A and B are shown apart, each in its own frame.
Chain A
């Protein structure tokens, strides 16, 4: 999301680790996520998820419960409240329980790991989070992916599937982005093994290690790539492809790692990109400029590349184009973005 790493900014735009962790854990169909802390932490995130998805035309409530810490839990320790909420969660017969901690229990030092370690017949997995103490959205998102990987079981062999890792479940075009990556993979005759984590069952995650490549949505820090390499030995591609050049490189890289000849797929993709140039030839010779409104990540190189491809001039005097919230994924993403540019140019 935003590129300014100052804490003031991340807290305003991105929220805390709890939001990041829930954006992963809440998308396991048969699991319950417990937010260990005061009820407000859970409420605000439920609210955020609900309204965000409503904007995406999805009506959905999540299996998120709170341990509801109150003042007495602060004084005497919140461990009892957490245990009770795990009992409540178990009543829903989940296949897994995830425990996400907020600032308060971490401040007073609740021993969350110990409580999660008790045998309950169902995996109770703590996600290192600690509210704002633990950082911002991205730390929680990474922690959740790392923690949920504990559900994966060692596999005899790899079946040639690709794991889609860390889809941003709250972003507007999450499904379109996935479909585009799936299309690119199928051009290489590769299947998706598991979407880790988007609307999957706990059992799907168990098969994670069958995959022989991870395609990570956006591993800016490289932490996820390193972690998956270390724990599962599966190599990763660190981001979904954005921009015409990167999309071609993506095909070649994935082909290399999976031992698949990518030449045909690359040719097909070049053809699609030429089609794109033809379809947007009406924009040739126009002048545009980009505005990030001060907080969006402006990867200007990609926009310049697209402009060059179509034959659009970039200059401060041109039509102002707002930088999109999420970077366009693959060639299909470029098509959507160019339609938007056209609307602004012809407005």
Chain B
């Protein structure tokens, strides 16, 4: 079983990339599970045709965590991909990070974590130990950073490198960096910049996803691009990404950059 996690700045396209990646992987005949680890709980929405599935933590809140069954928290979406949304507390109260940990414990107890690939789609940044959970305890062994060429997005990606590199010092750590996915924001020299960033953090660019209207069109039709426009060039990009990730053997321990290093890198590639 392969377990991968997608991390990146909020709004960068993690969920779109995750859903299309899951759809493409399932198209390879694989059994896929996607777990959304974000209180916004919209990770799997394109896989369930726009349906908001109840989140694990909503159910825990209503029923307690003793009487929940797998059927109540795992939902089959496109191509039988098993979808889970961790969810979280109401904004402004409680501890969402602890909620992620509780979700994982519950899924473990229910033996719900299985398949050929489990894909974790995680909140914008590693804000606390709870959101690092997918990287810990041997869950996701490969982390992919989703970023555009924007400085803030690279900054977030770099921060996640710090988390991976810190975790890699632990004796039982299995988490490594699988690579960088550039989700284009249509910036000049973007591909070159992200490629160079990936190289400097001791990794590599595994895919460049161009910006394409078809993504938005599929989205308003509440489907992934893979489902809505399987013949499109964009679908082919996602399928290539899926194959690349599934066969990827190039794992590394990242070497995060210092902030000024990162800023001067961005300066080198920006068009003035």
Residue of A nearest to B97 (CB): A75
Question: Which of B27-35, B56-64, B154-162 participates in binding chain A?
Answer: B56-64
Cβ-defined partner of A108 (8 Å) among B60, B88, B94: B94
In the complex the two chains form, is A109's CB within 8 Å of B60's CB?
A: no
Instruction: List B contacts of A72 (CB < 8 A).
Output: 60-61, 64-65, 102
In the complex the two chains form, is A74's CB within 8 Å of B95's CB?
A: yes
Instruction: List A contacts of B90 (CB < 8 A).
Output: 76-77
Interface assignment of A212: CB less than 8 Å from any CB of chain B:
no
Q: Mark A87-118, 1 if CB is under 8 A from B, else 0.
A: 00000000000000000000111110000000
Interface assignment of B36: CB less than 8 Å from any CB of chain A:
no
In the complex the two chains form, is A71's CB within 8 Å of B93's CB?
A: no
Instruction: List B contacts of A73 (CB < 8 A).
Output: 94
Instruction: List A contacts of B8 (CB < 8 A).
Output: none
Interface assignment of B89: CB less than 8 Å from any CB of chain A:
yes
Residue of B nearest to A111 (CB): B93
Q: Mark B54-77, 1 if CB is under 8 A from A, else 0.
A: 000100110011000000000000
Residues A77 and B94 in contact in the complex (CB < 8 Å), given A72-B61, A72-B64: yes
A80 to B96, CA, bound (A): 16
Interface assignment of B99: CB less than 8 Å from any CB of chain A:
yes
Instruction: List B contacts of A71 (CB < 8 A).
Output: 98, 102
Residues A109 and B102 in contact in the complex (CB < 8 Å), given A72-B60, A72-B65: no
A71 to B93, CA, bound (A): 14
Q: Mark A63-84, 1 if CB is under 8 A from B, else 0.
A: 0000000011111111100000
In the complex the two chains form, is B94's CB within 8 Å of A76's CB?
A: yes
Q: In terms of DSSP, what is the predominant structure of the interface of chain A?
A: helix
Instruction: List B contacts of A110 (CB < 8 A).
Output: 93
Q: How many A-B residue pairs have CB under 8 A?
A: 43
In the complex the two chains form, is A76's CB within 8 Å of B102's CB?
A: no
A79 to B92, CA, bound (A): 12
Instruction: List A contacts of B61 (CB < 8 A).
Output: 72, 76
In the complex the two chains form, is B98's CB within 8 Å of A74's CB?
A: yes
In the complex the two chains form, is A76's CB within 8 Å of B65's CB?
A: no
B60 to chain A, nearest CB (A): 6
Which of A74, A75, A110: most chain B CB closer than 10 A?
A75
A75 to B87, CA, bound (A): 11
In the complex the two chains form, is A79's CB within 8 Å of B93's CB?
A: yes
B96 to chain A, nearest CB (A): 8
Residue of B nearest to A75 (CB): B99
Residue of B nearest to A110 (CB): B93
Residue of B nearest to A79 (CB): B93
Instruction: List B contacts of A77 (CB < 8 A).
Output: 89-90, 93-95
Residues of B161-197 at the interface with A, using a CB-CB cut-off of 8 Å, are: none
A74 to B40, CA, bound (A): 19
Residue of B nearest to A78 (CB): B94
Instruction: List A contacts of B99 (CB < 8 A).
Output: 75-76
Instruction: List A contacts of B57 (CB < 8 A).
Output: 75-76
A72 to B63, CA, bound (A): 11
Residues of B80-122 at the interface with A, using a CB-CB cut-off of 8 Å, are: 88-90, 93-96, 98-99, 102
Cβ-defined partner of B102 (8 Å) among A75, A79, A111: A75
A110 to B92, CA, bound (A): 9
In the complex the two chains form, is B64's CB within 8 Å of A75's CB?
A: no
Residue of A nearest to B88 (CB): A75
A73 to B64, CA, bound (A): 11
A111 to B90, CA, bound (A): 14
Q: A72-B102, A78-B94 are in contact. List 20 more A-B contacts (CB 8 A).
A: A72-B64, A72-B65, A74-B94, A74-B95, A74-B98, A75-B89, A75-B94, A75-B98, A75-B99, A76-B57, A76-B93, A76-B94, A76-B99, A77-B89, A77-B90, A77-B93, A79-B93, A108-B98, A110-B93, A111-B93
Residues of chain A touching chain B, judged by Cβ–Cβ distance below 8 Å, are 71-79, 107-111
Residues of chain B touching chain A, judged by Cβ–Cβ distance below 8 Å, are 57, 60-61, 64-65, 88-90, 93-96, 98-99, 102
Give 21 CB contacts A-B under 8 Å: A71-B98, A72-B60, A72-B61, A72-B65, A73-B94, A74-B98, A75-B94, A75-B96, A76-B57, A76-B89, A76-B90, A76-B93, A77-B94, A77-B95, A79-B93, A107-B95, A108-B93, A108-B94, A108-B95, A108-B98, A110-B93
> Which 9 residue pairs across A and B have the least CB separation, nearest first?
A77-B93, A77-B94, A75-B99, A108-B95, A76-B89, A76-B94, A75-B98, A74-B98, A75-B94
